[in-house]
Structure 1
Amino acid sequence: MTPEETVGSYYDALRAGDALAPFFVESPATVKAGISERLVGYAEIANALREQTRTTEDWVVESSDLEVVERDGGAAVADAVSLSWYDAEAFADRSFETRWSGTLLPSDEGWAFAGMHVSAATDLDEGVDR
C-alpha cells in the first residue's frame, strides 16, 4: 500500500466507523493533534480513537487537496478535508473545514502515521441540532 492509499484507507475507516488505531505507529513517541486535543503515545491515541468511534456516527470525509511527498524512507502528507459527523453524546451535528498534515513511516502492513495534525480552518455548523 502506498502512502496515498494509506491516507485514503484511513478516511474510509473513519467513514465506516472502523478501528483507526492500526493506522498509527505503535510507539510512545507517536503524536496525534486533533481539532480539540493533543494525544501523545500510541496507547493514548488508541484509547481516544476508540472513544471517538463509540460516540460519533455518520462521518462525511471529503478530501480536496491531498499532497504526498516520499523522502528518505518516510512520507509527508497534507490535505484539505471537509469533515462532518453526528456527535451522539451532545445530540449535535459537527462540521469543519480542516487542514491535515502528517508523517508516515513504513510498517509491516504498508505505512503508518508517526504524527498527524488536524486543525479547523472554519467552523461551519457547530452545535446544530438534528
Structure 2
Amino acid sequence: MCARNAETVVEDYYEALRQGDQLSVYFAPDDSLVKFGISEQLTGYEEVAEGLREQTCHSKEWRITSHDLRVTERDDYAWFSDTVDMAWTDTTTGIRRSFSSRWSGTLENQDGWKFVAMHVSAPHTL
C-alpha cells in the first residue's frame, strides 16, 4: 500500500476488499481505533484486525461500487463519506448478501494515511 493522499487510501481499501487482500494494514495500530460495520462494533486495533480477518475468511466475490466519494484533507487528518453498493457471498452459508450503504470515516497521516475511525451502515427503510 503506497498511497499519496487520503482519497487514494480509501479507493485502495475498496480494491483490497474486492480482491480479498489483507485489510488491517489500512487501519492505525491504536487502541482508540473504532470500526462500525452493518452488524458490529469493533474497538482497538487488535479487535478490528481480528474482525477483518474473520470477514475475509468468511466472504468472497465482493462487489464494491462507490457512488459519491468525498474526501477532505487538513494537515495530518482527513475524513470521507460515500454511498456504496456492496455485495458479497457468505462462504459459510453460500448466501449472497447485498446492501446500499453509507460509509464515513476519519484518517490520520502516520507516515502514510491510516483509518482511525470507519462507519458503514445500511439505511433502514420503512
TM-score interval (norm. to shorter):
over 0.9
- 1:118 counterpart = 2:116: no
Look up the match of 2:105: 102
Instruction: List structure 1 runs of 4+ shifted beyond 6 angstroms.
Output: none
Look up the match of 2:44: 41
Number of corresponding residues: 122
Q: Secondary structure at the match of 1:121?
A: coil
The Cα offsets for residues 43-82 of structure 1, whole Å up to 9 and x where unpaired, read as 0000010010001000000000000111242001000000
- Please, which runs of 5 or more residues in structure 2 have no aligned partner? none
Report matched runs for 1:1-130 at 5 Å: 1-108=4-111, 110-121=112-123
TM-score under structure 1 length normalisation: 0.90
Q: Is the 8 A contact 1:81 1:100 kept in 2?
A: yes
Aligned residue type for 1:117: H
TM-score under structure 2 length normalisation: 0.93
Q: Secondary structure at the match of 1:118?
A: strand
Look up the match of 1:126: none
